[in-house]
Amino acid sequence: MKSSESVIPAKLSDLHWMVGKWSGAFGPQFVEEAWSKPSGGTMSTMVRLTNEATTLLIELILIRQVEASVELHLRQFTSELQLVLEQNMQLKSLGERSVTFTASAGASIPQLCYRAVGPQGMEVDVTKADGTVLTAGLARA
């Protein structure tokens, strides 16, 4: 957790707009997410990234209430469930229908940004270590 001077106040209920099933394109791949309702101090999703032939990645994300803010915990696995990435992220910004999390320097994914696009859409920006930003355009499934 960041020092109390830099904590951005947030509650899991601020992320209510993310709840539900989402799917769409992520470059040439297809992505599916299913965000749970906040309960017990957490909300979570299972993400599946596929192409026409195979599952490329399984990702588990947990957002949890930590004191007056929220944190994101991300784990990525191969389709054989071998752990390939473990990362924790702090809240960087929170809007009415957007949220951005950042990781410490040198992280494989320095930033994740989720934002609502209209009533039935969401975009997820994934910033890679080299600064490249990949965007997934998702719709309610």
Which pLDDT does position 1 carry in this prediction? 46
Distance CA 49, CA 79 (A): 10
Residue type for position 56? L
1 within a domain of the structure (yes/no): no
Domain that holds residue 110: 10-140
Distance CA 120, CA 10 (A): 23
- As for how many domains the chain has, the answer is 1
2 within a domain of the structure (yes/no): no
Which pLDDT does position 109 carry in this prediction? 97
Which pLDDT does position 6 carry in this prediction? 80
133 within a domain of the structure (yes/no): yes
Q: Which CATH number goes with the domain that contains 94?
A: 2.40.128.20
45 within a domain of the structure (yes/no): yes
Tell me the CA end-to-end span of the chain in Å, nearest whole number: 34
DSSP 28: T
108 within a domain of the structure (yes/no): yes
Distance CA 24, CA 137 (A): 6
Torsion of CA 44, 21, 57, 101, to 10 degrees: -50
Which pLDDT does position 5 carry in this prediction? 57
5 within a domain of the structure (yes/no): no
Per-10-residue mean pLDDT, the chain, length 141: 70 97 95 97 98 97 97 98 97 97 95 96 96 96 91
